[in-house]
Homo-oligomer: A and B are copies of this chain.
Amino acid sequence: MELTNTKDSEQKQRLRIADIARITGVSAGTVDRVLHNRGRVSDEKRKKIEAVIDQMDYKPNVFARSLSIKKEMRFVSLIPNFDPAGYWEYIRNGINKAQKEISDHRIIIEHHHFDQYDNRSFVVATERILSTSPDAVIFSPVFIEESVAFAEQLEQQNIPCVLVDSNVEAINSLAYYGQHSLKSGYTAAQLLFTGLPENSVVLLTRSVRPNGIGSNQAILREKGFMHYVDEHQLQQNYQIVRVDLYSNNTAKNLNKLWEVVAGNIPIAGAAIFSSKVYRLVDYLNQLKLHDIKIIGYDELPQNVTALKAGRVSYLIAQRPEMQGYLVVKDLVKHLVYKQPTHRTNYVPVDILTREIVDEYIQFNRRLNE
């Protein structure tokens, strides 16, 4: 441990291409050819120049570099269409932020959408996209099979893609950003069961599609949740009841929940594996069930309201703006700056309570300014 100050940087001028040219007795053009491995340089001079680059630790001025690169590219995004202030809007906000930052590279992003409850709408959108031959695609593989097929066609056309929100291993994407669904479901269980009275019912609710299939994400989250249950042998102490909620049938949903209530065992907790927590809260309010510990996903305004009102105990969040922002930046990193990226990038499982949610939201908002 030392208390003296240290100067890590010297005031010295930074090495420029022109300096390297002067030192090695060649022109800037030759240095440039070496720097970019464009060939057409004699071995002798190449080695000399490379030596100077290494020894003197040349680093290009990033600003000049960014200025001079003009890629004129067109990216396409394909995510579910969204209700205002819904989950997908957050991802798009992140994409938009990245878009602003790279617009001076003459890169534009076209936004396409599909209905997350209708796989045909997804296929239609992918066909439309393929016909326009974009330079890269950002999409959310909500429908697994259809997404794999889409990715194959992209690969044939040599169009790189990145995945956001949910992951499909079979897709050879440049990068994926999203949450580790299993761990997030496991964590939901952990938070729900800690301190929960025994010999009671725990509701597991899923928002399902008209065909009765849950989303890629939701299925994995439930799996993670059940893993915790099995690991701690909670089936003995709790009666876990699955209830599927349909997006467009309030009466039916209420009916199903009522059946559980009528079972006479008290309901102590409930988890929902989507961002529709606020709807679950609404149903339970209508059934006058006010003392249930509820846990759900994503910091949508309506969910935050329920969290602050004490109706929801925890929200699990996943930085959607950051996901949208980072997938785009990784595309640029690869296509423009030719730097390596990581394939799989898990965003943290963020646990929110009524006391800390405000700072969480404001911080994310400021990062996105």
Given known A1-B83, A342-B366, A363-B346, contact A187–B112 (CB-CB < 8 A) = no
Please indicate the chain B residues that have their CB under 8 angstroms from the CB of A83 in the complex: 1
Please indicate the chain B residues that have their CB under 8 angstroms from the CB of A125 in the complex: 3, 5
Q: Is the CB of A186 closer than 8 A to any CB of chain B?
A: yes
Additional A-B contact list (12), CB under 8 Å, known A5-B110, A348-B360: A2-B81, A2-B113, A3-B114, A3-B125, A5-B113, A8-B110, A8-B111, A61-B67, A187-B355, A194-B195, A348-B363, A350-B350
Q: Which of A99, A108, A350, A359 has the most CB of B within 10 A?
A: A359
CA distance A237 to B153 in the complex (A): 64
State how many angstroms separate the Cβ of A135 from the closest Cβ of chain B.
Answer: 13
Residue contact A353 to B5, C-beta cutoff 8 Å:
no
Please indicate the chain B residues that have their CB under 8 angstroms from the CB of A359 in the complex: 180, 183, 346-349
CA distance A363 to B112 in the complex (A): 28
State how many angstroms separate the Cβ of A60 from the closest Cβ of chain B.
Answer: 9
**Among candidates B351, B355, B366, residue contacting A183 with C-beta atoms closer than 8 Å:** B355
Please indicate the chain B residues that have their CB under 8 angstroms from the CB of A110 in the complex: 5-8
Residue contact B8 to A109, C-beta cutoff 8 Å:
yes
Interface residue ranges of A100-151 to B (CB < 8 Å): 101, 103-105, 108-115, 121, 125, 128
Please indicate the chain B residues that have their CB under 8 angstroms from the CB of A356 in the complex: 180, 183-184, 187, 348-349
State how many angstroms separate the Cβ of A61 from the closest Cβ of chain B.
Answer: 5
Q: How many copies does the complex hold?
A: 2
Nearest opposing residue in chain B for A107, CB measure: B9
Interface residue ranges of A325-351 to B (CB < 8 Å): 342, 345-351
Q: Is the CB of A66 closer than 8 A to any CB of chain B?
A: yes
Q: Is the CB of A251 closer than 8 A to any CB of chain B?
A: no
Q: Is the CB of A235 closer than 8 A to any CB of chain B?
A: no
**Among candidates B6, B9, B345, residue contacting A363 with C-beta atoms closer than 8 Å:** B345
Q: Is the CB of A64 closer than 8 A to any CB of chain B?
A: yes
**Among candidates B1, B109, B115, B362, residue contacting A3 with C-beta atoms closer than 8 Å:** B115
Nearest opposing residue in chain B for A64, CB measure: B67
A to B CB contacts below 8 Å, 26 in the list: A2-B113, A3-B114, A3-B115, A5-B125, A7-B110, A8-B96, A8-B108, A8-B109, A8-B111, A9-B109, A62-B104, A63-B67, A66-B66, A67-B67, A180-B356, A183-B355, A183-B356, A183-B359, A187-B355, A187-B356, A194-B194, A346-B359, A346-B362, A348-B359, A348-B360, A349-B359
Q: Which A residues have a C-beta under 8 Å from some C-beta of B?
A: 1-3, 5-9, 11, 14, 61-64, 66-67, 81-83, 96, 99, 101, 103-105, 108-115, 121, 125, 128, 180, 183-184, 186-187, 190, 194-196, 342, 345-351, 353, 355-356, 359-360, 362-363, 366
Please indicate the chain B residues that have their CB under 8 angstroms from the CB of A183 in the complex: 355-356, 359
CA distance A359 to B180 in the complex (A): 8
Q: Which of A101, A121, A346 has the most CB of B within 10 A?
A: A346
State how many angstroms separate the Cβ of A110 from the closest Cβ of chain B.
Answer: 6
Residue contact A190 to B353, C-beta cutoff 8 Å:
yes
State how many angstroms separate the Cβ of A79 from the closest Cβ of chain B.
Answer: 12
Please indicate the chain B residues that have their CB under 8 angstroms from the CB of A5 in the complex: 110-113, 125, 128
